[in-house]
Structure 1
Amino acid sequence: MFAIRISAFSVIIVTTLFSLIGSVNFGGQSSLYADSVGRPNFVIIFTDDQGYGDLGCFGSTTIKTPHIDKMASEGRRFTSFMVASPVCTPSRAALMTGCYPKRVGMHHHVLFPQSTIGLNPDEVTIADHLRGLGYATACYGKWHLGHHPETLPRQNGFDEYFGIPYSNDMNHPDNKGKPRIPSDQLWTDQSTAINQWNAPLILNETIVELPADQRTITRRYTDHAVDFIKTHQDEPFFVYLAHSMPHIPLYVPADAYDPNPENAYTCVIEHIDAEVGRVMTTIKELNLSDNTYVIFTSDNGPWLQFKNHGGSAGPLREGKGTTFEGGQRVPCVMWGPGRIPAGSQCNELMGTIDMLPTIAALTNSTLSPDRKIDGMDLSALVTGETTESPRREFIHYTSHGDLEGIRQGKWKLLVKRRKKANNHASGDKKVSPETLTTIMLFDLAADVGEQRNLAKEHPEIVEKLRKRMIELDSEIEAGARPTWKMPSKPNADKKAPN
């Protein structure tokens, strides 16, 4: 084990929310508020590529998740909880900033070890806001919002960071020399498999392990989270626990391992559940339950192509990488005894994009009106004070940031544009734009699995929704803010002399 300075890192996320008390005006930059005593704590536990159907409390009959199920029985399930993108980087940008990824320039798919951009530190994250209120803040796991020192968690509101800076299947420094896909053989031989991916494990901005031993990474993230909670139990804290898995490749420690590769995904989810249990036990043993919000959710749907290395979307259509419900509707459980009604369920529209303004409201603080965001204050929905969500619409963007649909109430419109190459097999190259477009309209209240296309039956609804989604997207594009970009090296564009 050794330490290296590095310019490219990633983080994994676990999400849990807690409610805050106090009053402050927050205007873009953190401003310490003196009276932080009594404010609720927040823990966000964020998994990677976990499907809607991968928890017992969301219908799984094969994966046992007793600790998360207990969270649900003591808290609230959100069954229509959305992420703003069906892939990692843009989804995480939305969680942190309360913005559609396009507004903060983080919508063009995922970042890689060779990427030269990241989340602009000028953006206000959940951690920025809470640290401005006097919170201790920590990020453990997958960041994936920029791996250069200027864009890592400590430049975005967190006091400390420990994790793999991007996806756990990416290699330092240039993403070369890795297996194309994980395999049953690599699961069976975990000791050899840990050297197949050269993912860096970093502490703050320094590599402390290369390659990271991913067999124990879920537990080590949790170790840090538990220690942080114990250390800061007498002051308000925010822990962002972003697990690297069940994104492939899959690993677990020896005491959670089943050598049968058919059970690989199950092993990983059940191990994550056990580690969630450790966090919950710590909160309860420290008598912090009445002053803590915990939120458990995922960054996008399951990576279905990997079969026993991937999860399940349950009753939803498709998975990761798509704008169907299986790609963007994720399981969500929120826990906060005395604040969130126990054993309750909310079927109203809500999403990670709403977490920043909701947390601000729970802390009785305000966000700067000068910085436009897309999230909404849904704190009354979290606490059960209202049964109807003020969020009535939600835009769907593809994994590469292209506008593809909108949900409004029970109606969901998708306008999918096919690649021209797929339509020229007959040799006819004069294909109209309409021929290259598939329009789908679903009634999610009656058809959550998106099996019945009602576009031809309701052309007026199609037209109304299509017009609205273009209108919303145009406003976001007009108000988009720049990402951070790595400065060009002097003379980088000049050719070397002959």
Structure 2
Amino acid sequence: MKLILRSFILLFSLSTLNAKEMPPNIVFILADDLGWADPSCYGSTFHETPHIDSLAKRGVKLSNFHSTSPVCSPARASLMTGLYAERLGMTQPACHINLVSLKAHTPDKGWPHQKVISPKSTTRLDTVFPTYAKVLKAQGYVTGHYGKWHLGHEPYTPLEHGFDVDVPHTKSHGPKGSYFGPKKYSDSFTLKKGEHLEDRMGQEAIEFIKENKDRPFLLNYWAFSVHSPMFAKLDLLDKYRKKATKLPTDAQQRNPIFAGMIETFDDNVGLLLKAIDEAGIADRTIIVLSSDNGGTIESAYTHEAYWGNGTVEEIVDIPATSNYPLKSGKGTIHDGGTAVPFIVVWPGKIKAGTKSDSYFSGVDVFPTFVEMAGAKMPSGVAIDGVSQVPALITGEEVRDTLYGYWPNYLVERNGSIPSAWIRHGDYKLVSYFFDGKNNKHRYELFDIKNDIGENHNIAAQNPERVAKLSAMLKQHFVETEAVLPKLNPNYDPQAKAPQK
């Protein structure tokens, strides 16, 4: 399927409409590395997230929302464009590097110690692709992006992808050294000494809400939290350190620094909700909260808490979090890497306090936002996602299959090797590229309904189901024109990885 982006035409002006006639505002709150089990409304008994929990009570909470990738840039690109990461050729979180690559490819030779050659990812989200910001802006929305982008710096910033405002408009893909200032992120954005990056982002977003309360707006509040480096405010660090002492040493979640970071994120979610209420626009504002990928679980991470002056408070060598009962976490092919919280509040449309097990992919966000806004996709634009409005309002199932793609090695961190997965009905098939006998793909099959932790591989007992799902996955790659891994002719099973 070839994509053609045609010019967006402003079809009508919304400036003269009264509040009842206005399309709804859309506030998209996206955390970075917030895992499926991190909010207390999703089961955490260690983290405290009262404001996220309040959102869940006001709307619908999904249990089967999956990112298209277990890492940030590919997942974010899918959210913005409605296209699978494999179609975009974005398979790695590399959009901050200096090399500009707009076309993925797989080299003919690879490292001798690796059996499979991974594709070389694109390093920017090309501006030829449509985004939900472009569509809504063309319909009269004022659009603002606040926080992390990580899809490319100039000329690939939010400003080139449909947003009127971009703060902090930075090349950086995360906090510079710590979450505290003083730090300069761009010519237009500097943190003062002791100022916390997430708190500043929250205040900037609140000003956007105040300034645009009388017209329809799209607000991306894409938090830097809770990505590393791990820095908690001292009062929160002390709070959760005391709380952790009452837990057994094998508790699934017990990192006081990460818990403190989650609470700071949650505090800013609360301030955004308060600003919406005070502006008198809560009844016409859709609020969506999610995360780009699963939670970080590797204990190899060094977690440090800093004062604003940069002094190390302590080092904790324990996992940041756990996605239990899901398996593994960020950067893996397992559900812990792609399943994330997803909460939608839509006053007058979605019944409060509801839950949904419907399948929802990251590519579905774009068309869902467009339908929520009462807009239409421009002619000539084709995307992979489908609108989930029927699922959100009535519970109607609109998708029966999910896909994920992770064609990279991260063996030293979490054991990952090039792989992909398909979820159809109650079953999930994982395909490991060229890792089986005679260099064929190796498959694992899981009955997710009865084995949510992917603990029991039942591929050998279900050859027909494996064949069906593997054929569907293969067809998916054909339809998305995916750049796939290759078998490495240079492979030497005795070779060792180069020393870093």
TM-score (norm 2): 0.77
Equivalences for residues 16-31 of structure 1 within 5 A: 29-31=8-10
Q: 1:240 to 1:328 in 2, by over 3 A?
A: same
Number of residues of Structure 1 aligned to a counterpart in Structure 2 = 414
Matched, 1:65 2:49: yes
Equivalences for residues 124-143 of structure 1 within 5 A: 124-143=130-149
Task: Give the 3-state SS of the residue equivalent to 1:265 in structure 2.
Answer: helix
Contact 2:14 2:215 in 1 (8 A): no
Aligned-pair distance for 1:72?
0.5
Task: Give the 3-state SS of the residue equivalent to 2:439 in structure 1.
Answer: coil
Counterpart for residue 389 of structure 1 = 397
Q: 1:463 to 1:41 in 2, by over 3 A?
A: same
Counterpart for residue 160 of structure 1 = 165
Q: Paired residue for 2:28, among 40, 44, 48?
A: 44
Q: Which runs of 5+ in 1 are unaligned?
A: 1-25, 172-177, 179-185, 421-430, 481-498
Q: Which runs of 5+ in 2 are unaligned?
A: 102-123, 242-254, 302-316, 410-417, 485-500
Tell me the alpha carbon deviations over residues 282-301 of structure 1, each in whole angstroms, 9 at most, x when there is no partner: 11122211101111110001
Matched, 1:33 2:12: yes
Aligned-pair distance for 1:351?
2.4
Task: Give the 3-state SS of the residue equivalent to 1:150 in structure 2.
Answer: coil
Counterpart for residue 209 of structure 1 = 190
Contact 1:87 1:399 in 2 (8 A): no
Counterpart for residue 75 of structure 1 = 59
Distance 2:84 2:273 in 1: 31
Matched, 1:269 2:262: yes
TM-score (norm 1): 0.77
Distance 1:452 1:248 in 2: 32
Q: Paired residue for 2:202, among 213, 218, 222?
A: 222
Counterpart for residue 83 of structure 2 = 99
Distance 2:280 2:152 in 1: 36
Equivalences for residues 94-493 of structure 1 within 5 A: 94-117=78-101, 118-147=124-153, 149-163=154-168, 164-168=170-174, 201-202=185-186, 206=187, 208-209=189-190, 216-253=196-233, 256-258=236-238, 262-305=255-298, 306=301, 308=318, 310-383=320-393, 385=394, 387-398=395-406, 400=408, 404-417=420-433, 432-434=438-440, 437-477=441-481
Task: Give the 3-state SS of the residue equivalent to 2:422 in structure 1.
Answer: strand
Contact 1:86 1:398 in 2 (8 A): yes
The one-letter amino acid of 1:124's match is P
Distance 2:321 2:264 in 1: 14
Distance 1:473 1:213 in 2: 49
Q: 1:224 to 1:309 in 2, by over 3 A?
A: farther
Contact 1:141 1:165 in 2 (8 A): no
Contact 1:125 1:157 in 2 (8 A): yes
CA RMSD of aligned residues (A): 2.7
Aligned-pair distance for 1:448?
1.2
The one-letter amino acid of 1:395's match is Y
Q: 1:34 to 1:208 in 2, by over 3 A?
A: closer
Q: 1:432 to 1:111 in 2, by over 3 A?
A: same
Distance 2:212 2:11 in 1: 17
Distance 2:172 2:351 in 1: 36
Distance 1:56 1:144 in 2: 28
